[in-house]
Every structure is written in C-alpha cells, then in structure tokens.
Structure 1
Amino acid sequence: MLPLAACSIVAVAVILERMYFFRHSGAANLAETLLAMITGNQREEAADRAKGSPLPLIRILAAGMAHPYQPAKAMEAVVVNELAAMRRGLPILDTIVTLSPLLGLLGTIIGMIDSFQVMALSGMGQPRAVTGGIAEALIATATGITVAVIALIPYNYFLARIERETEIIEHYATRLELALNPAAEQQR
C-alpha cells in the first residue's frame, strides 16, 4: 500500500502542476494582435510586444519575427522546446497508470499468500481469519485500480490539450510565415 500511496501523491502533484501550466498557456488573442501589427507594417512593435512573453505560442511567434527570412526554421527550433515543456510530467503519469494496478495485484497476491499461510497453520477451523485476510488483500487491487483511473483521465486530457495546442501553434506559425513573406520581399 505504501508504493500505491506514493504513486497517488506523485500523480496528484503532476496533475496539479500540469493544470496550472495549461491554465496559463492560451494566447490566441495576443497572437491575433501580433499578426495584425505585422500585417499593418508594425513589425518592430510586434516583436517588442512578443519579446519575453511566458506564453509558448508567443515565444514561438517571437522566434519567427526575429528571423523574417527563415521564420519556419526559427520557429521549429523553439517548438521542440515548447512541446517538451508541455509534455513534462506526462511520462510519470503514464507510468503510474500502468504501474498502480500491478502494484495492487502484487499486494493482493502477497495478502493471499499470508491468508493461505494462516490456513495452513491453523487449519480450516478459523475461516474468519482466512476470509478477513483475503478481503484485506483485495483492498490493494481496488486501490491500485483507483489510482490508475484517477491518473488516466487527466493524462488523456493533457494529451488532447497538447494536440490542440500543437494545432494552434501550427495555425499561427503558418499565418506568421505568410505575413512575413511580403515583408521579406520588400527588404530584399
């Protein structure tokens, strides 16, 4: 039960941290403003406004604005780091989802072995001792499955959220490339 308690504590910590991270990651309104500024020939103002932003999408667009002749390559380099930051902690949740039921089953097996040892020592004369041990052993399986289910739902939500954020990043990165293309042509 102690490993399951540790798994549940770690899962809750990762879930809360990821919820905080994704709560502060939306930046579509600012991205629209930056694209409007670039289209309106206010590229330097847009770059200044994007500079130092904590939002992943804006950091990616800022990299593209900083390199108007090759914005795609510049944004790709930043996207790798931003996606890694979005995925941080998810392998831990995935491991907990897989490991918890197995730990629960292990606890049940150990409990069953103990129950059968009690039966071997005392004989069939004490059925309550045996059934009480079996019931106690099954608590480990139930706990393991509960921890896995509780971690699985946020894990799948975070995967879907990363997929949605990736689509948003691709959308705005493509729009930025199109907006910068005339600017690059004018500067040649």
Structure 2
Amino acid sequence: MAAIAEAFRDGGIWMYSILLVSVVALGVTLERFFFLFFKYNMNAQAFMAQIQKLVMADNVDRAIKLCNAAPSRVVPHVIKAGLTRANKGEVEIQNAMEEATLEIVPKVQKRTQALLTIANVATLMGLLGTIVGLIEAFEALETATPENRQRMLSRGIAMAMNTTAFGLIVAIPTMVAHLLLSGVTKKILDDVDMYSVKLENLLVTRGKGGPVE
C-alpha cells in the first residue's frame, strides 16, 4: 500500500487526472452492467415460447399481460407493441414493432460505446504524463546542478513510468468491460430483431386463418 501511495505521489498531477477518468469508467461500467444484465436482458427464447402458445390459443390478451409483467425488459416491450395491433393488418403490426424498437435501441446502446473513448483518454493521459516526465528528466540533465541532477532525473523518470502504468491499468479493464457489455448489447438487440419478425409472421398467419406453427 505504501508503494502504491509513493507511485501515485511520484506521478504528479497526471495521476489525479487518470484517477478521475477511472472513477468515470467504473461508474459507467456499473450502470451499464446493472441495466443490461438485470433490467433489459432476459431468456427471450422461453418468453417467446409462452407468447407463441398464447397466440396459438387465440389468447392475445393474456399474452399482453405477460408482457406487462416484465415492463423493463426489452423484448416484451417490442412484442407488446405487435400484440396490441394483433387484429390489424401486417403493415400496422410491423410499424408498431419498428417504432417500439426505435424507442428502445438508444436506451440499450447508451454509454457502452463511451467506454472505448474513456479507455483511450486514460491511455493518452498516461502518455502525456510520460512525455512531461521525460521533459523534466532531460531538463535536469541540462540545467540542474550536479548535486540536484540525480534527484530531478529520478523524479522525471518516476513520473513518466508511473503515469504510463496507471493509464494502462485504467484503460485495459475499461476495454474489457466494453467488450463484455457490447456483447450483451448485441445479444439483446439480436433477440429483438429475431423475435419481432417471428411474432409478425405469427400474427399475420393467424390473421389470415392459416395454420400457426
């Protein structure tokens, strides 16, 4: 712990800047993790199987109530839009679900992409601290008195190395978090696309009085 405190002190003001970036990265990661894993995501396959059974049984009202039971989930939000137009034409069903999809997509994608930018900022701040530290080190070689030269040289190199390390320590986990959250985001949106098309086909077939598979 003492070594970490010393490294932080040697890094100078750049360490505080990178620390601020790390707090932002952690906040965005936790917020996105909560929403994507616990509010928006669900077992869409099992949910859609229930919806299909209810539609096949001509019990659309119960299917809508099933969607209402999970108001924060993304797939039920879009499926409900189609079910409320179940007795309308194909175009109205499609338009309703497209509108619901356009409403929900920005919420699902919000701030996840920003993690890449935050990681880059942390890396660049570490690099800037490195450059400033090396400038101080070279200035020490040129201007410092012999008795102070070694101390100033060590301080400049310490700043350079510590800011680089801290910038990477923040950037790498942030990029990993972005990779993980992007995967979950894609899975949710893929579920929306797939099951909205399946429901559309289901309702259109039902409306034409054909066999529902």
Relative to the length of structure 2, the TM-score reads: 0.80
CA gap 1:179/1:129 in 2 versus in 1, 3 angstroms: same
RMSD of the alignment, in Å? 1.8
Q: Is the CA contact 2:74–2:188 (under 8 Å) kept in the aligned structure 1? A: no
Where do residues 115-126 of structure 1 align in structure 2 (5 Å cutoff)? 115-123=137-145, 126=149
User: How far is 1:124 from its partner?
Assistant: 5.1
- The counterpart of 1:8, out of the listed 13, 22, 25, is 22
User: How far is 1:132 from its partner?
Assistant: 3.4
User: Does the alignment pair 1:143 with 2:143?
Assistant: no
Q: Is the CA contact 1:115–1:134 (under 8 Å) kept in the aligned structure 2? A: yes
User: How far is 1:172 from its partner?
Assistant: 1.2
How many aligned positions are there?
186
Where do residues 57-136 of structure 1 align in structure 2 (5 Å cutoff)? 57-68=75-86, 69=89, 70-123=92-145, 126-136=149-159
User: How far is 1:91 from its partner?
Assistant: 3.1
The answer for the alignment partner of 1:26 in structure 2 is: 42
State the one-letter code of the partner of 2:72. Answer: P
CA distance in 2, matches of 1:175, 1:157: 27
Q: What are the ranges of 5 or more consecutive residues in structure 2 without an aligned counterpart?
A: 1-14
CA distance in 1, matches of 2:195, 2:143: 71
Q: Is the CA contact 2:130–2:160 (under 8 Å) kept in the aligned structure 1? A: yes
The answer for the alignment partner of 2:200 in structure 1 is: 177
Q: Is the CA contact 2:136–2:152 (under 8 Å) kept in the aligned structure 1? A: no
Relative to the length of structure 1, the TM-score reads: 0.89
The answer for the alignment partner of 1:159 in structure 2 is: 182
Q: The residue matched to 1:46 in structure 2 has which SS?
A: helix
Q: The residue matched to 1:54 in structure 2 has which SS?
A: coil
User: How far is 1:65 from its partner?
Assistant: 0.7
State the one-letter code of the partner of 1:44. Answer: D
State the one-letter code of the partner of 2:179. Answer: N
CA distance in 1, matches of 2:150, 2:178: 42
What do residues 134-164 of structure 1 show as CA deviations (whole Å, max 9, x unaligned)? 1222211111122111100010111122222
Q: Quick one: percent identity of the two aligned structures?
A: 23
User: How far is 1:128 from its partner?
Assistant: 4.1
The answer for the alignment partner of 1:35 in structure 2 is: 52
CA distance in 2, matches of 1:112, 1:127: 14
Q: The residue matched to 2:125 in structure 1 has which SS?
A: helix
User: How far is 1:174 from its partner?
Assistant: 1.7
